[in-house]
Amino acid sequence: MSSYSSLAEAVRRLVLKQTVREILFTVIIAVVLNGVALGLHVWRDYWEPVLLINFVLLVVVAESVGELVPIRFKPLYDRALAFGFPAIILLCWEGLVNAGVLNARWFPAPSSILEALWDLTVNYDRFNKSSLLGRPWLIPQEWNSNGMDGIKALFRESHVYATLSRVMLGFTFGSLPGILIGMAMGMNATVRNMLDMTLSALYVLPKIAIFPIMMLLFPDPFGEGPKIAVVAISAFFLVTISTMAGVQQIDPVLIQAGRNYGANRWQMFRHVILPGALPMIFSGLRLALGTGLIVIVAIEFVRAKIGVGRVILYYWEILSTAKMYAGLFVTMILGVTLTYGLQLIERLVIPWQRK
Amino acid sequence: MRPKIVARNVVKTYKSKDGDILAIDDFSLEVAEGEFVCIVGPSGCGKSTFLRILAGLTPLTAGTVDIARDAKAQKPLNSMVFQEYAIYPWKTVRDNVAFGLEMRGVSKHTRYVIAEDWLKRVGLLKFANYYPHQLSGGMKQRVSIARALANDPEVLLMDEPLGALDAQMRTVLQGELLNLWEIDRKTVVYITHSIDEAILLGDRVIVMTAHPGKIKMEFTIEIPRPRMIETMSTPEFALQKGIIWEALKDEVARVYGEQL
Ligand SMILES: Nc1ncnc2c1ncn2[C@@H]1O[C@H](COP(=O)(O)OP(=O)(O)OP(=O)(O)O)[C@@H](O)[C@H]1O
Ligand SMILES: [Mg+2]
C-alpha cells in the first residue's frame, strides 16, 4: 500500500516536473518568436498569423498551468481565465494606444473610455437635457424642493432608464400574450394550423422594418408607444414559437399518465403541460430579451431623443469616440444584467432543472 | 359471477405512412375479480398496446373492452405502471407518488402520509425530496410502481414494472409484490418478459404470439398460495416453466428470424 502510494507520488512529481519544463519551453518560444517577428517587421506586415500563433501559445501555457493547479483551486483558476483573458486584451489595447500603434481617435484607450463613462455618469448634458443614469444622488434634494415631479424629471433625463423601461415594457407586453398563444397553439391543432404558417412567415421579417407602421398607428409617432410596440412584437414571435415547441415536445406518455391518474383539463395544464413547457418558454424569453435590446438600440439610432442607442450615435456624430465606446459599454452591461436577472428567475421557477 | 375485466375480439391497427400496422389481432381475455393475470410475449407483439387499450388511453379499432366498476368502492377504476415510468421530471419523488391522490383532491397532509408509506415500502423514503433526474432507472421505476399502488385502484395495470431493475432488487420487489397482493388481492394485469416472474406472481399466464399479437396459449398456475421467492426453486415450478417456455420459444424465434 505505502509502496504503491510512494510510487504514485513519484509519478506525480515526474509529471509536475515535465509540465513545468513544458511551460518554460513554451514561454521561451513565445519570447524568441515575438522578438524575431518584431525585428523583421513581421508583426507590422503580417500581424494576423502572428497574433494567432501567440494565442495558441497562450492557450498551451494556460492549459499546462491548469494541470499544476490543485483540484481545490480549479474553479477559481477557471474563473481567473474567464476574467484574465479580457483583462489581457484590454491591457494590450491600452499599451498599443500608448505606443501609438492604434489610433486613439478611433480606438481610445480603455482608460479614457472609463474616464468618459465617469464623465457621462456624473455630468448633466445641458445641450441634450439628459444624463446617463438620471443623477440619482440628486433625488433627496429634488424631493425636498419639487416633490414627486422633481424625481420624475430626473428619471426622464436618464438614458439608461429610458432604454431599460422600453425593453422591459415591450418584453412584458410581448411575452405574456406570446406564452398564452403559444400554449394554445401547442395544445390545439386547429389553432396551430390557423396560425403556424403566418407566424413563421412574419417571424423572419426583421422587426425594425415594422417601425414605420408602428409610427403610423400611434397618435404620437415620436413618443414611447411605437418603440415599445416594436420590442413587444419581436418578443411576441420568439416567445410564441418557442412556447409552442415547448408544449409539443412534451413526451406523450406523460400526458397519458395524467389522464390515467384522473387529471382534469385544468390539472393537466397546471401539472403537466405548463411545467413541461417551461424550459423552452424560458429559452424563448432569453432570446426575446436579447433581441429586445438589439431592437431598441437600433430604434434609438433612428429616432429617439434619449436612450443609450442615442448616446452611442450622438457621440459618434460629434466625434467624441471615447464617449461613444462608453455608450457601447453601458449597452453591454445592460444586456448582461438583464440576462443574469432572467437566469435568476429561471432558477427559482424551474428548480428541477439539472445543473 | 361477472368477470371484472372483459375484452372481446380486440383489434388494433396503427395508421402509418407505409400502410397500417396490425398490432393486435382478435385478442379476447376475461379476468376475474381478484385474479392476477400475467401476459408474456416476444418484444413488439402488442402487450403495451393491449394494456393501454384496457386503461382507455388508446382507442381500439374493433372489439369491446369493459371493466366492471364497483360503485361502492369509491376508488379510481385503474392505475397503470408505464413501461417508460412516465413520472414527472418537475415533481419531487414524494409529489410523483402522491400524484393520483392530488388529482382526486386528497388533502396535502393525507396524501403525503400515504405517499411516504409507499416510499418506505419500495425503499425510497430517503429520496422523497429528490427530483427524478437524480435517480437511477430502477429507482424511477419504483417511484412509478409506488404511484400506482398509492392510488389504490380497483384494477392495477402493470407494464414490465420490474424491467429496469437489477436481479437482486427484482427479487426483493417480486417478494414485496407477492406480500402486498396477499393483503387485498386486487385484480391485476401484469406484463413481463420473465417467465419466472409470471409463474411466481400469476394465477394465470397468457402467452402471446409474435406480431401481430394474439393469444397463443393460456396456463393456469396451480402452485398454491401464499407463494414466496423460495417457491421458484420447487420442482413443480421448474416443470411449469418448461411447459410455458415450450410455447413461447417458437414465437421468440419467429421474431428474431424476421429481424435477421
Ligand atoms: N403509437 C404507435 N404508432 C404506430 N405503431 C405503434 C405505436 N405503438 C406501437 N406500435 C407498434 O405496435 C406494435 C406493438 O407495440 P407494443 O408497444 O404494444 O409492443 P410490446 O409488446 O409492448 O413490446 P415490448 O415488449 O418491446 O415493450 C409494434 O410493432 C409497434 O411498432
Ligand atoms: Mg411494451
Cα torsion through B45, B51, B56, B62, rounded to 10: 40
Find where cell 423514503 sits: B125
Lowest mean pLDDT among A91-105, A261-275, B24-38, B106-120: A91-105
The answer to whether residue A196 scores a pLDDT higher than 80 is: yes
**B5-14: strand order across its sheet:** B21-31, B5-14, B62-67
pLDDT band at B1 (very low <50, low <70, confident <90, very high): low
Exposed, middle or buried, A7 (CB in 10 Å: 0-12/13-18/19+)?
A: exposed
**Mean pLDDT, rounded, for A330-346:** 94
Beta bridge partners of B64: B8
Exposed, middle or buried, B25 (CB in 10 Å: 0-12/13-18/19+)?
A: middle
For B:100-139, CB contacts with A below 8 A are 100, 102-104, 131-133
pLDDT band at B255 (very low <50, low <70, confident <90, very high): confident
For A:253-312, CB contacts with B below 8 A are 253-254, 256-264, 267, 271-272, 275-276, 278
Give the CATH number of domain A153-353; options: 3.40.50.2300, 3.40.50.2000, 3.90.550.10, 1.10.3720.10.
Answer: 1.10.3720.10
pLDDT band at B16 (very low <50, low <70, confident <90, very high): confident
Give Cα separations from B110 to B71, B103, B116 (angstroms). 23, 13, 10
Model pLDDT for residues A102-123, shown as the tens digit of each residue: 888 889 999 999 999 999 888 8
Cα–Cα distance, A355 to A350 (Å, whole number):
11
| Option in B78, B82, B99 nearest A253 (CB) | B82
Exposed, middle or buried, A221 (CB in 10 Å: 0-12/13-18/19+)?
A: middle
Of the bound ligands, which one is closest to the alpha carbon of residue B43? 1
**Mean pLDDT, rounded, for A221-234:** 92
| Option in B80, B131, B132 nearest A260 (CB) | B80
ipTM of the complex: 0.91
Flag whether the pTM goes above 0.95: no
Model pLDDT for residues A158-171, shown as the tens digit of each residue: 999 999 999 999 99
**Which range scores top for mean pLDDT: A17-21, A45-49, B126-130?**
B126-130
Q: Give the count of beta carbons closer than 10 Å to the beta carbon of residue B203.
A: 18
Q: Atom 6, ligand 1: which residue's CA is nearest?
A: B14
Categorise residue B105: left if φ over 0, alpha if ψ from -120 to 50, beta otherwise. Answer: left
* Contact between chains at A260 and B133 (C-beta distance less than 8 A): no
Cα–Cα distance, B190 to B172 (Å, whole number):
17
DSSP secondary structure code for residue B23 in this structure: E
B44 lines ligand 1 (CB under 6 A): yes
pLDDT band at A354 (very low <50, low <70, confident <90, very high): low
Specify the 3-state DSSP secondary structure of A116: helix
The answer to whether residue B103 scores a pLDDT higher than 60 is: yes
Helices (H), A69-122: 74-98, 110-122
**Which range scores top for mean pLDDT: A36-45, A202-211, B6-15?**
B6-15
Proportion of chain A above pLDDT 90, given as a percent: 55
B212 lines ligand 1 (CB under 6 A): no
